[in-house]
């Protein structure tokens, strides 16, 4: 009998162990060594399979014992031949696949790279300028970190206005904190008069720029002035969908209307801060992530602490989590 979990056995009787033989086979071989031979009908099948008992020429009805060292060639030779043949087949298949791998790599090298690392502010600026100039229908941009530096806004303004005037749709997402930054608001007012659409969220996960549906830029790493230019259609579509989902949750910015801090914006910002408090984040971490000053975060936390009667940060996290303030 064979054990499916242990693989094939030399001896297939019920009493044998994996990789071993049964007591009957051992006893029969011992008796053959003692008596000089055994009747053929009394020899276990495994002894014949291992070529340990063979027919005597003079008395074919009796089998004589063969030394195990002598039986090796007959017992293992066919198995080793099969193994050698399979090893040759394996080597041949591996060599063939290596040749095809070389062909595949050569073909890929001839294709333009879908991902290109850009390093340096000047290089990135030129790449963005070329992308904007070649844009046909729409630009999507998302910017984390709160207020944008005035020099960056000044550099972007002519390019963005030029695109808007030639009919390119421009949608931009900032964080809520830009609503109190004069330079960013001045830029927003200028581009929205040309037809741009601007919205804000409490938090923007990372910087994204998508041109049409075939070109995108994201940060390459946390290093400054390092970007990844993406032309892979699937990745660009993914980033565009990610932007559109964030756009659906964001709040429009209309500089001509006051106040810019609407109840929706204030509630969204407070809820995001409170979620971070419940998650155990420090004021510094929250301020950095939301693009606001630590003092503003402290003031938000202080007001909620007074409202809930909290006397410690740990107690505040518990009270916030159980108060219903985080419910949408």
C-alpha separations of 25 from 11, 29, 54, 70 in Å = 8, 6, 14, 18
Domain 263-323, second-level architecture: Orthogonal Bundle (1.10)
Helix (H) and strand (E) counts in the chain: 11, 11
User: Where do you find CATH 1.10.10.10 in the chain?
Assistant: 263-323
CB 51 within 8 A of CB 63: no
CATH of the domain spanning 115-252, picked from 3.40.228.10, 3.40.50.2000, 3.30.870.10, 3.40.190.10: 3.30.870.10
Q: Strands (DSSP E) along the chain, which ranges?
A: 38-39, 53-55, 62-65, 115-119, 138-142, 169-175, 197-201, 208-211, 215-219, 226-230, 251-252
pLDDT digit string (tens) for 249-262? 898 988 766 456 66
Q: Percentage of the chain surpassing pLDDT 70? A: 89
Tens-place pLDDT, residues 187-233: 999 999 999 999 999 888 889 999 998 999 999 877 778 999 999 99
Helix (H, G, I), strand (E, B) or coil at 319: helix
Residue by residue, pLDDT tens for the chain (328 residues) are: 344 444 455 665 655 455 567 788 888 889 889 888 889 888 888 888 888 888 877 787 888 888 988 888 888 888 888 999 999 999 999 999 888 888 888 877 766 678 889 999 899 989 998 999 899 999 999 998 878 888 889 988 998 999 999 999 999 999 888 888 888 989 999 999 999 999 999 888 889 999 998 999 999 877 778 999 999 999 999 999 999 999 998 989 887 664 566 666 677 777 888 888 888 888 888 888 788 888 888 888 888 888 888 888 888 887 877 777 776 5
- List, by residue range, all CATH 3.30.870.10 domains of the chain: 115-252
Q: For the whole model, what pTM was predicted?
A: 0.61
């Amino acid at each position: 009998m064979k054990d499916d979990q242990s693989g094939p056995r030399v001896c297939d009787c019920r009493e044998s162990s994996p990789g071993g033989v049964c007591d009957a086979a051992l006893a029969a071989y011992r008796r053959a060594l003692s008596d000089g031979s055994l009747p053929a009908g009394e020899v276990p099948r495994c002894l014949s399979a291992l070529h340990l008992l063979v027919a005597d020429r003079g008395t074919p009805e009796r089998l004589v014992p063969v030394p195990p060292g002598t039986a090796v060639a007959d017992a293992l030779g066919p198995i080793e031949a099969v193994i050698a043949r399979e090893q040759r087949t394996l080597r041949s298949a591996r060599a063939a696949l290596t040749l095809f791998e070389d062909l595949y790599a050569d073909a890929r090298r001839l294709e333009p790279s879908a991902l290109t690392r850009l390093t340096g502010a000047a290089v990135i600026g030129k790449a963005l300028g070329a992308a904007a100039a070649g844009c046909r229908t729409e630009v999507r941009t998302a910017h984390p970190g709160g207020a944008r530096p005035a020099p960056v806004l000044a550099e972007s303004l002519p390019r963005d206005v030029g695109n808007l005037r030639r009919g390119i749709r421009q949608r931009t997402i900032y964080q809520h904190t830009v609503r109190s930054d004069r330079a960013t608001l001045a830029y927003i007012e200028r581009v929205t008069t040309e037809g741009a659409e601007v919205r804000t969220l409490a938090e923007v996960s990372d910087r994204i720029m998508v041109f049409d549906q075939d070109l995108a830029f994201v940060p390459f790493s946390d290093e400054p002035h390092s970007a990844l230019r993406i032309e892979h259609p699937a990745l660009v579509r993914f980033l565009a969908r990610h932007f559109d989902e964030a756009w659906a949750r964001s709040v429009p910015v209309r500089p001509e209307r006051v106040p810019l801090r609407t109840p929706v914006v204030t509630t969204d910002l407070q809820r995001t801060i409170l979620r971070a408090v419940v998650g155990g984040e420090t004021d510094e971490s929250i301020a950095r992530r939301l693009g606001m000053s630590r003092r503003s975060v402290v003031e938000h936390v202080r007001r909620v602490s007074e409202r809930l009667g909290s006397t410690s940060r740990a107690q505040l996290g518990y009270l916030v989590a159980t108060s219903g303030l985080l419910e949408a």
